[in-house]
Amino acid sequence: MVKGLTISDIHQGLRKKEFSAQELAQSYFKKINSLDEKLGAFLEITQNEALSQAKRVDELISQGKKVSLMTGIPMAIKDNILVKDVKCTAASKILEEYLAPYEATSVKKLRGEGAVFLGKTNLDEFGMGASTENSAFKKTRNPHDPSRVPGGSSGGSAVAVAADESCCALGSDTGGSVRQPAAFCGVVGLKPTYGAVSRYGLIAFASSLDQIGPIAKNVEDCEIVFNAIKGKDPLDSTSVESKFSISHFQFSNPKIGVPKEYFGEGIEPGVEKIIKETIKKVEKEGAKIEEISLPHTKYALACYYIIATSEASANLARYDGIKYGLSKDDEQKSDLLDVYLKTREEGFGPEVKRRIMLGTYTLSAGYYEAYYLRAQKVRTLIKQDFEKAFQKVDVIFTPVSPFAAFKIGEKVKDPLAMYLSDVFTASVNLAGLPALSLPCGKVRKLPVGLQIIGRPFRESEIFQVGKFVEKIV
């Protein structure tokens, strides 16, 4: 009964009493029980908590109380976002036993609206990866072809939504971690404008790039979840109240920019073909297509990896074996430094270690200016490229990823090849822009995603364009 259900389907069903919130949650758990051993989307199922949340929803409805669109909606939460009193591991051994003592603001807002949390989903350790293979605990498989990766790092959340194990989900996106798995799994994902959604309770990877974003079955659902979690939060000083309301903007003939740097060399021909066909269809419907140039695109990936690893090396210094998490101290005569070294050696996986090392190197004396400071300056140029482009166009269309889902194991031994997965998504985080990942076709049975990039805080415009594209592909 849960196949393809959207938020508005569920909302109608609950209001018309076609099913109860408890029955609905049970159906999703049934689905999870039958599928997840194979797909591995979830790290933890919170059935008891979910059923008591659903029971409260049913009580509200039977009392005739007003309910919101999110009331009773079953959701999955990426396991780097804190749900109070539930384990939050970031798919790392260093947090294997960590019990969240408080709740992320985005989760708190959803709970306030009556959303039902089914469980916590798998990810690349601390969000570092593009295939979910860097999880310390399990592999997650792509429902379209289980021999392939779901993308990452929010692979578990994307799979849960794609396989109807959940209606929608929260992920997080530092360099493409919501958009790329959404594209690989054929669902819709949004990376909001930096600051649009509070990061309080999101386990930090790279603080100037991280954003929490929704993954859902269609654009409308994505918009509903985004509207439920956005807004300024006193607990995140970088969060902002969006000044743009939804009603102001009407799309008649959107001007769409297509950057030439995102096509050609390095992109799988089948993917390029689908994106170009989609652009043609949109043009036929009256949109104006304009070729644009984002001249610093070539430098975005190197710039991103310097900044992201530098920030990560500082953020992950907190895992010291003292305040919380794993602590390794087996010898009586060992000193404090030994505790640090041993805890981090055993607690972190290979990719996390690599990034801590890279970031420590690029921030260290003698290299700071050559790497980190230079990358921050290139970041300015990348941001200016977009600002110039948005003087001419309303939104920008690009592929989400240069290729469709790859085989499990294919790139895991070659870190640079894995990093290339972020080539079309990372610049958006550097510039702090909002971007939507929208399925627009398939190549060899594998979904391909279109990326729609918008101006800062104009998520509403992206959603309108997204709904327009959704109808015609």
Partner 1 sequence: MISKKEVEHVAKLARLGLTWKEIEKMQKELTLILDYFDLLKEVDVSQVQPTSHSILLENVDREDIVKKESLETVNKILDGAPAREKGHVRVKGILK
In whole angstroms, what is the distance from residue 257 CA to residue 397 CA? 6
Nearer to partner 1, 291 or 369 (CB): 369
Stretch that binds partner 1, among 15-23, 115-123, 181-189, 380-388 (CB under 8 A): 380-388
Token pair listed for 453: 């990039």
Site for partner 1 in 182-211 (CB under 8 A): 193-195, 208
**At 152, phi and psi to the nearest 5?**
-170, 175
Using CB under 8 A as the binding rule, whether residue 378 contacts partner 1 is answered as yes
Catalytic residue, candidates 92, 177, 198, 310: 177
Report in angstroms the alpha-carbon separations of 118 from 173, 345, 357.
Answer: 21, 33, 36
Among 238, 403, 443, 470, binds partner 1 (CB under 8 A): 238
Among 51, 60, 96, 98, binds partner 1 (CB under 8 A): 98
Query: Using an 8 Å Cβ cutoff, are 260 and 290 in contact?
Result: no
In whole angstroms, what is the distance from residue 401 CA to residue 183 CA? 8
Among 37, 265, 337, 444, binds partner 1 (CB under 8 A): 337
In whole angstroms, what is the distance from residue 94 CA to residue 329 CA? 14
Nearer to partner 1, 169 or 294 (CB): 294
Among 137, 244, 299, 468, binds partner 1 (CB under 8 A): 299
Nearer to partner 1, 276 or 374 (CB): 374
**Count of residues that interact with partner 1, criterion CB under 8 A:** 69
Nearer to partner 1, 28 or 305 (CB): 305
Catalytic residue, candidates 78, 120, 191, 217: 78
Using CB under 8 A as the binding rule, whether residue 296 contacts partner 1 is answered as yes
Nearer to partner 1, 229 or 326 (CB): 326
**Smallest gap from residue 446 Cβ to partner 1 (A):** 27
In whole angstroms, what is the distance from residue 62 CA to residue 378 CA? 57
Nearer to partner 1, 138 or 353 (CB): 353
Q: Is 207 noted as a catalytic residue in this protein?
A: no
Using CB under 8 A as the binding rule, whether residue 321 contacts partner 1 is answered as yes
Q: Is 177 noted as a catalytic residue in this protein?
A: yes
Site for partner 1 in 264-283 (CB under 8 A): none
Site for partner 1 in 38-77 (CB under 8 A): none
Nearer to partner 1, 277 or 345 (CB): 345
- Which residues, at least 6 apart from 250, have a Cβ–Cβ distance to it below 8 Å? none
Using CB under 8 A as the binding rule, whether residue 345 contacts partner 1 is answered as yes
Give me the sign of the Cα torsion angle 215, 359, 201, 379: negative
Per DSSP, the residues of 134-185 read T-SS----BTTBTTB---SSSHHHHHHHHTTSSSEEEEEESSSTTHHHHHHH
Catalytic residue, candidates 92, 106, 135, 153: 153
Token pair listed for 240: 């902002």
**Smallest gap from residue 296 Cβ to partner 1 (A):** 7
Stretch that binds partner 1, among 35-43, 69-77, 278-286, 292-300 (CB under 8 A): 292-300
Estimate to the nearest angstrom the gap between the alpha carbon of 381 and the chain centroid. 25
Query: Using an 8 Å Cβ cutoff, are 126 and 135 in contact?
Result: no
Contact pattern for partner 1 over residues 407 through 436, marking x by CB under 8 A: --------xx--x----------xxxx---
List of E strands, 370-419: 395-399
**Smallest gap from residue 14 Cβ to partner 1 (A):** 33
Give the residue among 406, 392, 471, 402 at the shortest CA–CA distance from 438. 471
Using CB under 8 A as the binding rule, whether residue 6 contacts partner 1 is answered as no
Secondary structure, 3-state, 194-232: CCCECCCCECCCCCCCCEEEEEECCHHHHHHHHHHHECC
Among 1, 246, 336, 472, binds partner 1 (CB under 8 A): 336
**At 121, phi and psi to the nearest 5?**
-105, 155
Residue 177 identity: S
**Smallest gap from residue 381 Cβ to partner 1 (A):** 6
Query: Using an 8 Å Cβ cutoff, are 116 and 74 in contact?
Result: yes
In whole angstroms, what is the distance from residue 275 CA to residue 272 CA? 5
**At 199, phi and psi to the nearest 5?**
-95, 5
**Smallest gap from residue 252 Cβ to partner 1 (A):** 29
Give the residue among 354, 320, 355, 314 at the shortest CA–CA distance from 94. 320
Site for partner 1 in 119-148 (CB under 8 A): none
The DSSP secondary-structure symbol of 200 reads T
In whole angstroms, what is the distance from residue 397 CA to residue 451 CA? 6
Q: Is 131 noted as a catalytic residue in this protein?
A: no
Among 23, 49, 145, 320, binds partner 1 (CB under 8 A): 320
Using CB under 8 A as the binding rule, whether residue 342 contacts partner 1 is answered as yes
Using CB under 8 A as the binding rule, whether residue 334 contacts partner 1 is answered as yes
Query: Using an 8 Å Cβ cutoff, are 79 and 89 in contact?
Result: yes
Query: Using an 8 Å Cβ cutoff, are 26 and 64 in contact?
Result: no
Where does this chain bind partner 1 (CB under 8 A)?
98-99, 101-102, 193-195, 208, 237-238, 240, 296, 298-299, 302-303, 305-306, 313, 317, 320-327, 329, 334-337, 339-342, 344-346, 348, 353-354, 356-358, 360-362, 364, 371, 373-381, 383, 415-416, 419, 430-433, 456
Catalytic residues: 78, 153, 177
